[in-house]
Amino acid sequence: MDFDCFINIDNLSKSELKSLLLLKVEEDINKLSFTANQIRDKFLSNEVKFCGMIEISNICDCDCLYCGLRKSNNEITRYKMNAEEVISTARQIINLGINKILIQSGDDSTIEKDYISYIIYSIKQYADVSIILSLGERSIKEYEAWKISGADSYLLKFETSNSDLYSKIHTGYALAKRIESIKNLKKIGYRLGTGNLIGIKEQTTDDLINDLIILKDINPDFLVCSPFIPAPNTPFASDLIANKQLTLNFLATARIFLKNIDITATTSLDSIEKNGRELGLEFGANVVMQNFTPNPYRKHYQVYPSERHYFTNPIESLSSLKLRIENAGRRTFIKN
């Protein structure tokens, strides 16, 4: 395959996307990662951006078959952080030199509009950082109010472009409605993030190709894709974990296809491989997430099992991650 030609062309065919996703031979995979890196360098830069994550509530009204936070999972302890706790965690992140903060929760209808507005406003008073919300599908009124309070970005994933699979794993919800919400967020003026799940049961390679095509159509500012990880106490608990190479190939193919968007190396990559986030960076990603959810809450945000970061000190793991990234020849712009 001629990888060089991908640097300058925007429109890859379905069969080209398929060949990239399914690469298995080491030599080809090296070329894939090399090309993804070249494109990231050409359209963005060498820099790895850091994003500090605060999981403010694990209460969820949805019953998604794959997710550990699903409503019918009675095995987890539910929590909701109070506004002051969220704000002081955000200050801790800012004081470490990180200028992107992701505020995330389940689809929690007990989260009130003003509680989020107050948090956003207070953080923005403290420092002019970028605030990313990921609070599920909410009303247009709420999206608008939070934008006015100072939120910059909103992350709402479509999870899969296969509408039958979407309805099945989201217990009757419709993909069309999710896509409409995603497009509304863009209209309201958010920097838009979206993404999919890779390797979920019954997902085909064609589904992943269509995920890429839908991404091109949505034209988001940033991408957050997670490998599927079986979560205990869910109907998918005994399914297979996502294939590592398929996940990395998806990230690199997304970089080659979408060119200049931010692509996140999610903490979930660490669940498919030790130092998985760094691997993600080798396959086209340019943003890393670091979890700052304070104890005692952190262990209860069990979307999927990820013991690796339950008990680590965020400040220590941040500096070791930063060092590993810099040793791999990438620049970072955080203080510690």
- 56-85 binders of ligand 5AD (CB under 6 A): 66-67
| Minimum distance of ligand 5AD from residue 235's CB (angstroms) | 11
Q: Please, are residues 321 and 79 in contact by the beta-carbon 8 Å criterion?
A: no
How many residues sit in the footprint of ligand 5AD (CB under 6 A)?
12
CB of 276 to ligand 5AD, least distance (A): 12
Question: What's the rounded Cα separation, in Å, for the pair 323 and 328?
Answer: 9
Pairing of strands 197-198, 226-227: parallel
| 221 contacts 262 by C-beta, under 8 angstroms | yes
Pick between residue 157 and residue 277 the one whose CB is nearest to ligand 5AD. 157
**CA 267, CA 270: separation in Å to the nearest integer?**
6
The binding track of 210-229 with respect to ligand 5AD, each residue x by CB under 6 A or -, is ----------------x-xx
To ligand 5AD, the closest distance from the beta carbon of 243 in angstroms equals 13
**Least gap, CB of 233 to ligand 5AD (angstroms):** 11
Distances (CA, A) of 257 to 28, 227, 253, 254, 294: 17, 19, 6, 5, 37
Chosen residue from 300, 304, 322, 334 binding ligand 5AD by CB under 6 A: 304
What is d(CA 292, CA 55) in angstroms, rounded to the nearest whole number? 8
Q: Are 317 and 270 in contact (CB under 8 A)?
A: no
Based on the shown chain and the rule CB under 6 A, indicate whether residue 157 belongs to the binding site for ligand 5AD.
Answer: yes
Q: What angle do CA 144, 147, 148 make, to 5 degrees?
A: 90
According to CB under 6 A, which one of 86, 197, 208, 279 is a site residue for ligand 5AD? 197
Residue written as token pair 């956003």: 120
For ligand 5AD, the binding residue among 63, 108, 152, 159 (CB under 6 A) is 159
Q: Considering only residues 267-296, where is the footprint of ligand 5AD by CB under 6 A?
A: 268
Residue 247 interacting with ligand 5AD (CB under 6 A): no
Q: What is the residue type of 55?
A: E
**Contact between 303 and ligand 5AD (CB under 6 A)?**
yes
Q: Which residues of the shown chain bind ligand 5AD in the complex (CB under 6 A)?
A: 66-67, 157, 159, 197, 226, 228-229, 231, 268, 303-304
